[in-house]
Structure 1
């Protein structure tokens, strides 16, 4: 059971947390404007003093920026999870203000000169590793912000930054609106043959909420995916697939009202122009200036090597599905909306296991308490739920993470961090799953330690009727992934904000802790306390566990080449000048090279690829596979030494999680693993045979 304590016993300073219930959309723009003005006046006063010291430069500016961040964070987050027209309008009005401030800061020549002087001073040699890294990152980022450009180019750079911020928000808004716009209303239950009861119950509840009879399906993944996996009606699968794959395109059901095509083209042109202004050949090269990978050639080589190793096995996976559909269902040729359906049938035949059989064994509270047990055993932690905390929705929960010094000690001295947990899909909530910062760990202006706070957000089905929320195993993996990001943020021991937690971590290494934690979802020893039947409490039966583990790498090579398709498309697209960046042509070319399933010509995957057009993954989607090499190799040490070996856990905690962005990721990995990473563990964990490799 998860221990619960009242708000009055919390170690977190709840008064310092955001007051979500008191967010006033009418005052957002003026409050953000005031905070930016304060930040600018702090900068000017620092510059005017001409005091080249760490205290004057880094600490004063970090304090002002942290105040702005703590004001903006709940606004940006709330807009993602309980958006409204008024909130969206105020949020979007602030984006140009924040972009302008970021550009002002990055192009401030006198401020840059002070940082360079500090970097060359005697004091620099006395700074600790984290402090030096903050100074070094700042000098690098000044250059990447165009500080050395002439006045005319600086102005152009600033305009580009502002436009890109607006385009990113518009892309995200269009995608959310296009997703919300589609509703499939089914009245006859016979049309839902094949669908599991859990999916029908959720659809019936969705219909009830819209005051409709029957069933309602949407393009949110918990609603969409069961249709594609289980619905016997090919017509229903086709309708849902077409709606999903044409979202936010000229082909969507609103006749292109939410079309992202122009936004994509403008974004690519502006990114290329920005990179050129700074002297880079392409946006891909510009992107790598802050990453672990050393060159575009290295990234492309890495991805194409993985594709060459994986594609032969992926082709065999595909042929197996097609042969199965032909022999068992007399299906001569498969359409795009057939693959998921027949793959699931094949999986059930081969392994006699499905997500729906497993779902009753992964009720919400059992999974969460099991997750907490895993990290507690690994890193000697205690996690407690705090009741009565102000949140943005009644289903959101709040937790504290403590060092496990004693079972009943939940004091400020043992507090490592806190987090909000928002698990369920709902209208006006951005799709997907993510972790974001609410507050970063740092020592503030008065010398007090500020503990970190995180937002952990998923989009799973809520409880239906008197049943608890029941997760698929894939959803359990997603939750572990996001919690891995969360503990990277919360368990840091770095108290300099710029490199604390996930800050300052190279983007292609930031997925290491998240992908690493996923491994415990597949370990029998961990599954014993992650799973338990929601009615009886019985653990996952051995035969189901054996089948689930046997099915772990079912079609893993196909999944591998799909991710490589996304990665190569993203990176190659960002290598091109705009006149050559024909988005569909680049995507088709990549698919020809690495994919085994070619989607229909109407598929507009790119128009909903928020990771690269509305997130931080532009010319960086390869980071998932890059970091998976790191995470697989890191986990292989636990396989050798024991998956709950406390010494190995302590080593990962002290060398990776607690160090944040204070050192280069390769240094930290080598400190933990004793050598540089090898690709072998990734191939083994993915079930890619050595013959294929």
Structure 2
């Protein structure tokens, strides 16, 4: 029996897709194992790279069927040996064997993910789901084995045993997974565990279904062309009921994320903005249709999680969540939230005051700025103050130039070389493959694919996500496998002679995903269990991605990735300064919102107070708006009640705080190339090389020489308290 939310850690950005798809009710059909399946992996070429050109669904299904049974059989064999005698060397007799029997399955699973996200015509959803679910269940076998768990616990209790930090992390991973899967419970309690998990699944499913129905039910039709006069062409096409005549209307507004925010930013009609906003925050409230109220399911989920935590030996679900977090305790998280709030809340108040004055000067008639006013007037103020027009900035960032500059930055910081390799088997002609070489080494240490362009009929596209980083194969010295990854995006493809250009938001997204991929690709571990992002605490797993995003606010890096589509000139200094100011625009408002949601999530999973009482207590502490009587936002807070962020939403802010502190080490030595390279080497040897083989707190201290501080994040957002000069 496995707790699905403590199973295999999918790489950031894709776990939500896989989780939501598992609720579609597909029947998992595991094919018969092909008798003629060759011993040599039919999915690989002689050079060890996947034979994407010729991989078929049938091959993947047959390979998964064979490999899952081999893994499960191998686990049973290990269990028999452990029951007969205690191992003399647990790493050789247990973990080395697990690595060897699990590696083929992990690779096939990674290939299936890549095909599914890169070309869903080659790997349709239904086929992928059967592979994904079967592989996940098989991989869970080693974490649900009582003999292996008991052996691990005995090993951890041994004194004066010499073992590496990596070996200790492997042991602790299996011990924690076993505990969270209920292996310490007596048989009588395991029945109760199963009942709680079933209850939790039922409540989450009903919560999701009702929120989905509420989201789909709402629409607002606009007939007045004056209302949509400032809508960007892409938005007009999305909302036009006839996309061929998108300038004529009518236009249908929905709550889809890619429609909601652009509409709120560009709609001048305040009444329409209020209507769309209240529909969003009203979902699940039951005000309109009591049958669609989610409050009872929200409390049911909280109740079940509380029971689950108690049964497994934790005071609260929030305390249980901290077992897999860098922060380690609820107290540490709350301290971080309130230290940041001390600067964010006053800044929020001042920002809203300035925004209100700006709006009044331009005809606003309200007595105050409300939540449904902020996106519209924010957009107006940003364009007015900083002359920020996304389409103008887009002319400076051709994809190939951005990639070249990104690779050069990586090569400079980490003393590696990135080379494209041609004539590689791929799933589409647009896909390119690159090797990473250490300095003075002839053999690559890792490789990655980049599939950059959107393909409407082939690629999976999820709202609010422009792409994926897939870890195809993990580093493992035991199985002699090198890291392999795929970066799959949905950027605008080239048209004729015109190459692909990226918005600055897309450039930032590319840098972030590449930073994540480096943590997967440059790990140097013995065990795949702690390689790359595997086994990294949830609140630290995005750190490397955020570190790379910070480099976009370095003028030299911007110069290396920019080239105007007509003149070829670099991004002008005034436009770079504009980017810096846009980054800090209403930063107090944004941070206060994130801090509120983090605090709300944590309190809902820590206290027993009714959800609305929790909201009423926390809202005035963090937000500078009155709480609207229709605002029932927790009733549609799917990230914590449906997705995997329960008692973990704070991780978004925490990882940004850690990353800002890490990047500040580079910023402190800016202008000194030698020192920058020294910091880069230190970053490589800690955050990238160690992966999940060392606790992130220890990694941070090795890199920075101290514990983390929020000062760098506050400074990067323009929220750090200015020093008062003595007279």
> The TM-score by the shorter chain falls in which range?
0.7 to 0.9
Give the secondary structure class of the aligned counterpart of 2:663. helix
Structure 2 residue 53 is the aligned partner of structure 1 residue 22: no
Q: 2:397 maps to which residue?
A: 362
Q: Give aligned pairs, total.
A: 666
Cα distance, 1:568 vs structure 2: 0.6
C-alpha deviation, 1:284, in angstroms: 0.4
Q: Where does residue 177 of structure 2 map in the other structure?
A: 141
- Alpha-carbon distance in structure 1 between the residues aligned to 2:468 and 2:653: 19
Q: How does 1:76-155 map to 2 (within 5 A)?
A: 105-119=142-156, 125-155=161-191
Compare 33-42 and 562-571 and name the one that shifted more: 33-42
Please give the TM-score of this superposition, normalised by the length of structure 1: 0.82
> Would the aligned equivalents of 1:435 and 1:485 in 2 still touch at CA under 8 Å?
no
Mapped pair 1:631 → 2:659: yes
Shift of 1:638: 0.8
1:596 alignment partner in structure 2: 624
Structure 2 Cα separation of the partners of residues 73 and 162 of structure 1:
29
2:342 is the counterpart of 1:311: no
Residue 574 of structure 1: aligned partner: 605
Comparing 292-301 and 418-427, the one that deviates more? 418-427
Give yes or no for the alignment of 1:59 onto 2:105. no
Determine if the alignment matches structure 1 residue 452 to structure 2 residue 489: no
Once the two structures are TM-superposed, the CA of residue 452 in structure 1 deviates from its matched residue by 2.2
Corresponding position of 1:399: 433
The CA deviation at 1:346 is 1.4
The worse-fitting range, judged by mean Cα deviation, of 183-192 and 466-475 is 183-192
Gaps of 5+ in 2: 1-43
Asked if the contact 1:202–1:464 (Cα under 8 Å) also holds between the matched residues in 2, the reply is: no
Verify the 8 A CA contact 1:81 1:430 in the aligned structure 2: no
Asked if structure 1 preserves the Cα contact closer than 8 Å seen for 2:471 and 2:520, the reply is no
Q: CA deviation at 1:83?
A: 7.6
Give the corresponding residue for 2:471.
Answer: 438
1: distance between equivalents of 2:533 and 2:678? 23
* Other-structure match for 1:506: 537
Tell me the alpha carbon deviations over residues 158-208 of structure 1, each in whole angstroms, 9 at most, x when there is no partner.
Answer: 454466568768877887887788787878765421234564577789925
CA distance in 1, matches of 2:682, 2:69: 44
Report which stretch shifted further, 353-362 or 43-52.
353-362
Shift of 1:156: 3.0
**Is the 1:99–1:161 contact (alpha carbons within 8 Å) kept by the matching residues of 2?**
no
Quickly say closer, same or farther: Cα 1:535–1:233, change in 2 above 3 A.
farther
Measure, in 1, the Cα distance between the counterparts of 2:79 and 2:203.
Answer: 33
Distance 1:401 1:151 in 2: 51
Q: Hey, what does 1:44 align to over in structure 2?
A: 76
Residues 564-588 of structure 1 show CA distances to partners (whole Å, capped at 9, x for unaligned) of: 01111111111134xx3x4444334
SS of structure 2 residue aligned to 1:438: strand
Per the alignment, residue 6 of structure 2 pairs with none
Cα separation, 1, equivalents of 2:555 and 2:567: 19
Give the alignment's TM-score, normalised by structure 2: 0.79
Match for residue 332 of structure 2? 298
Gap change, CA 1:145 and 1:342, over 3 Å in 2 = same
CA spacing shift, 1:596–1:421, aligned 2, 3 Å = farther
- Structure 2: distance between partners of 1:611 and 1:275: 20
Report whether the alignment pairs 1:326 with 2:360: yes
SS of aligned partner of 1:399: strand
Superposed CA RMSD: 4.2
Larger displacement relative to structure 2 (303-312 or 607-616): 607-616
> Structure 1 pair 602/90, CA: closer, same or farther in 2 (3 Å)?
farther
In 1, are the aligned partners of 2:419 and 2:435 still within 8 Å (CA)?
Answer: yes
Q: Which runs of 5+ in 1 are unaligned?
A: 1-8
What are the within-5 Å matches in structure 2 for residues 63-462 of structure 1?
63-73=100-110, 105-119=142-156, 125-161=161-197, 190-197=226-233, 199-200=235-236, 207-208=243-244, 221-234=257-270, 237-238=273-274, 240-242=276-278, 244-245=280-281, 264-332=298-366, 333-379=368-414, 380-384=416-420, 389-391=425-427, 397-403=431-437, 405=439, 413-421=443-451, 424=454, 429-433=461-465, 435-443=468-476, 448-456=479-487
Spell out, residue by residue over 1:454-477, the C-alpha distance to the aligned partner (whole angstroms, 9 max, x if none): 344556666689865544323322
Q: Secondary structure at the match of 2:446?
A: strand
Going from structure 1 to structure 2, the CA distance change for 1:345 and 1:650 (only over 3 Å counts) comes to same
Q: Does 1:542 align with 2:577?
A: no
* 1:658 CA displacement: 0.9
Q: Do the aligned partners of 1:628 and 1:682 also contact (CA within 8 Å) in 2?
A: yes
Instruction: Classify the secondary structure of the residue corresponding to 2:689.
Output: helix
> What whole-Å deviation, never above 9, does each CA across 1:619-668 have from its counterpart, x for those lacking one?
11212222223222221111122376222211111121111011121221
Q: Deviations over 1:523-582 (max 9, x none)?
A: 1111112223234332212222222223331111111101101111111111134xx3x4
- Listed one character per residue, the Cα deviations across residues 32-86 of structure 1 (whole Å, up to 9, x for unaligned) are 66654433321110121226231221122233344443444455677778889x9
Distance 1:266 1:289 in 2: 23
2-structure distance, mates of 1:458, 1:593: 39
| Alpha carbons 1:193, 1:233 under 8 Å: kept | no
Q: 1:94 to 1:114 in 2, by over 3 A?
A: same
Provide closer, same or farther for how the CA distance between residues 491 and 690 of structure 1 changes in structure 2, counting only shifts above 3 A.
same
Shift of 1:88: 5.5
Answer whether contact 1:222 1:459 (CA < 8 A) is retained.
no
Question: Which residue of the partner structure matches residue 559 of structure 1?
Answer: 590
In the TM superposition, residue 361 of structure 1 has moved relative to its aligned partner by: 2.2
- Residues 580-617 of structure 1 show CA distances to partners (whole Å, capped at 9, x for unaligned) of 3x444433432222012456444554455444334432
Question: Quick check: 282-291 or 193-202, which moved more?
Answer: 193-202
Contact 1:556 1:686 in 2 (8 A): yes
